[in-house]
């Protein structure tokens, strides 16, 4: 498996890159989304129902598409990184990161020694079952993407220190968690929330990183674009399926 050499540089250059979340645990929706025109897709193993066997099939489906596959793990633990990276994820999204120390721990888990502490196994899917291990190992630190989720008031307070960590490529806002933790649930138009977004975007620019966010709809897309967010996702496979089925049912019932 060849890690794309150009995707991480495009992210760090703050090119506009479009993504979506996949939370149904289905290889089929991964394949559909990957061929729908997104630059990247996020397989959600924090809130999604999938397990390790499901993830393998999802990543195999992603390989049949041009989209860059990321996996969101459930917790910032080295073993979780190792499992998804060895299966062939091209990047990892790390939830609920609140400090520079937690960010450094995530980056360490992404990288092989001497740059980090990722365990070395040569016969994994990521390295072509051993055929390409040395090439994979030599370039993994510069091609794998590390996405740090900003979801708490602590993360906003420490945003400059988090952004300064080498290897923290994307500062990615989870708007529901962040707004709830700020005491302003889903008030994405409020001045305090917009100030928090501006702090994230400004820190990303200062430190040569990208800012990103998940949006449930296109309502706030222009706002985040103007603030400088470039690595953005809209919607999910679950949301798309539900909306589509509700629409079909309404048509059939004459509503």
- Positions annotated as catalytic residues are 47
Cα–Cα–Cα angle for 174, 16, 70, rounded to 5 degrees: 55
CA dist., res. 179 & res. 134, Å (int): 44
3-state helix, strand, coil in the chain (%, to 5): 45, 15, 40
Q: What is the DSSP letter of 35?
A: T
Q: Which residues pair with 40 in a beta bridge?
A: 19, 68
Q: Would you state the structure tokens that stand for residue 138, as one six-digit string?
A: 């030599």
197: CB partners within 8 A, 6+ apart:
173, 213, 224, 227, 229
């Amino acid at each position: 498996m060849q890690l794309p050499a150009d995707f991480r540089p495009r992210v760090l250059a703050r090119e506009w890159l479009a993504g979506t979340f996949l939370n149904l645990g289905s290889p089929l929706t991964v394949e559909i989304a990957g061929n729908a025109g997104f630059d990247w897709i996020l397989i959600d193993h924090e809130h999604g129902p999938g397990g390790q066997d499901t993830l393998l099939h999802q990543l195999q489906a992603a390989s049949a598409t041009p989209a860059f596959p990321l996996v969101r793990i459930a917790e910032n633990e080295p073993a979780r990184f190792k499992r998804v990276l060895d299966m062939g994820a091209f990047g990892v999204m790390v939830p609920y990161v609140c400090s520079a120390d937690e960010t450094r721990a995530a980056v360490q888990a992404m990288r092989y020694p001497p740059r980090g502490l990722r365990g070395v196994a040569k016969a994994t899917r990521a390295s072509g079952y051993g055929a390409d291990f040395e090439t994979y190992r030599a370039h993994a630190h510069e091609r794998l993407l590390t996405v740090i989720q900003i979801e708490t008031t602590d993360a906003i307070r420490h945003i400059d220190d988090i952004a300064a960590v080498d290897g923290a490529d994307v500062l990615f806002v989870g708007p529901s968690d962040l707004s709830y933790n700020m005491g302003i649930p889903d008030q994405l138009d409020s001045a305090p929330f917009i100030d928090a977004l501006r702090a994230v975007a400004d820190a990303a620019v200062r430190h040569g990183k990208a800012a990103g966010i998940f949006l449930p709809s296109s309502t706030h897309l222009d706002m985040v674009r103007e603030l400088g967010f470039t690595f953005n996702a809209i919607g999910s496979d679950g949301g798309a399926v539900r909306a589509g089925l509700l629409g079909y049912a309404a048509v059939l019932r004459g509503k």
